[in-house]
Amino acid sequence: MSALLITLESSTRLLDPLRSFIGSLVSPIYVVAESPYLLTNAVGDVLATREQLQQKNRDLERRVLELSQISQQYVALKAENDRLRELLGSQGRLPYEVLIAELVGVIPDPTTFQIIIDKGADAGLSVGQAVLDAEGLFGQVVEVNRFTSRVLLLTDRDHAVPVRINRNGVRSIAGGTGDMGSLVLENVAISADIVEGDRVETSGLGGRFPPGYPVGIVASVVVEPTSAFAEVLVRPSALLDRSRHVLVIFTPQPQIESNDANTDGVVDLDQGEAAPATNGVENAQAGAT
């Protein structure tokens, strides 16, 4: 019976409703397990001294000023970018909506990196959405329950994300290593122009992750004379083991529902790739490769 269930789950999505139903029932356990941390935070807020609060407030105000200056430029740049895209005849990029979620649990198994966040199907989440924190790409949603969701972090061994080098647009795939502090760029040719310190960002290929979000910074490039590929390690920008608040991205969906009515072959092909069809963990690979 167990074997049947395990096989069913690994090959089909039939068990997803069962999973998310049970998930809704057990989600309070995560909240209880996480309560010491939630309580410490709450108590810390209450006990903070006046000076600390004032200091924090000053810091935040300074940060707001910096960011608003950047966002003013951003508006102008976006307008210019849209104009140029129009000249080229390509579609303008749609803005992404985000939803702030809080971490309520961590999957205890040290061989995998997954967290539970406090937004679920009720908030409109669906499997495959990208998750960010304040510094960069965090992971993707792999399971949605009623009130909570499970997020696979990008350093998990089963996770992979299509990326490009910010400086020159060299494309690659950043796979997790099972180590919280590093990602590895897969199948990078020795001749590829990647050096230490390069910024790595999502390329948007595969349709799962929106393009242009920071993934990390190249930490080391090792070229072995005997190997056809360079070994490139990337340090993720997101604070994977510290962030308590994350952003879930809602990608605006171009109308891809009416597959049959669509006569344009190219678009059809795109949809086939972008449609989230497979299950959870394998998804990351499927979406990426």
Partner 1 sequence: MNPANGGWLIALTLVAAMLLGVVHLPETWPGWLGWLRPNWLILVLFFWVIEVPHRVGLIAMWITGLFVDVLYADPVGLNGLILASVSYLGWRFFERLRMYSVLQQCGILFLLVLGAEVLSVMVLGLGSERPWSWHVLVSALVTMLVWPLMFLLLLRLRTGLRVE
**Which residues contact partner 1 (rule: CB under 8 A)?**
1-6, 9-10, 15, 18-19, 22-23, 25-26, 29-30, 32-33, 37, 105-112, 114, 143, 150, 157-158, 178, 180, 241-242, 281-282
- Which region holds residue 179: left if phi is over 0, alpha if psi is between -120 and 50, else beta? beta
As measured in angstroms, the least distance from the Cβ of 142 to partner 1 is 8
Return the number of the residue (10 or 72) whose C-beta is nearest partner 1.
10
176 close to 157: Cβ distance less than 8 angstroms: yes
Min. distance of Cβ 232 from partner 1 in angstroms? 19
Q: How far is the CB of 75 from partner 1 (least distance, A)?
A: 37
Shortest distance in whole angstroms from residue 201 CB to partner 1: 24
Whole-angstrom distance, CA of residue 223 vs CA of residue 147: 47
User: Given the complex with partner 1, which of 251 and 285 has the nearer CB atom?
Assistant: 285
Residue with tokens 């092909």: 269
Minimum distance, C-beta of residue 97 to partner 1, in the bound complex (Å): 27
Q: CB neighbours of 283 closer than 8 A, spacing ≥ 6?
A: 127, 128, 140, 142, 276
Query: Which CB, 101 or 160, lies closer to partner 1?
Result: 160
- Dihedral sign computed on CA atoms, order 40, 46, 52, 55: positive
Minimum CB separation from partner 1 for residue 251, in Å?
Answer: 24
Contacts of 6 by beta carbon, 8 Å cutoff, 6+ apart: none
Nearest residue (CB) to partner 1, 18 versus 100: 18
| CB 95, min distance to partner 1, A | 32
Cβ-count burial of 286 within 10 angstroms (0-12 exposed, 13-18 middle, 19+ buried)? middle
CA distance 69 to 72: 5
The answer to whether 144 touches 248, Cβ cutoff 8 Å, is no
The nearer residue to partner 1, 5 or 43, going by C-beta atoms, is 5
CB of 130 to partner 1, least distance (A): 19
**Nearest-angstrom CA–CA distance, 17 and 223:** 47
Are 110 and 157 in contact by the 8 Å Cβ rule? The answer is no
The smaller minimum CB distance to partner 1, of residues 210 and 280, is found at 280
CB 102 within 8 A of CB 118: yes
Residue (of 206, 15, 210, 208) closest to 126 by Cα position: 208
Cβ closer to partner 1: 1 or 228? 1
Strand partners, 199: 217
Nearer to partner 1, 25 or 84 (CB): 25
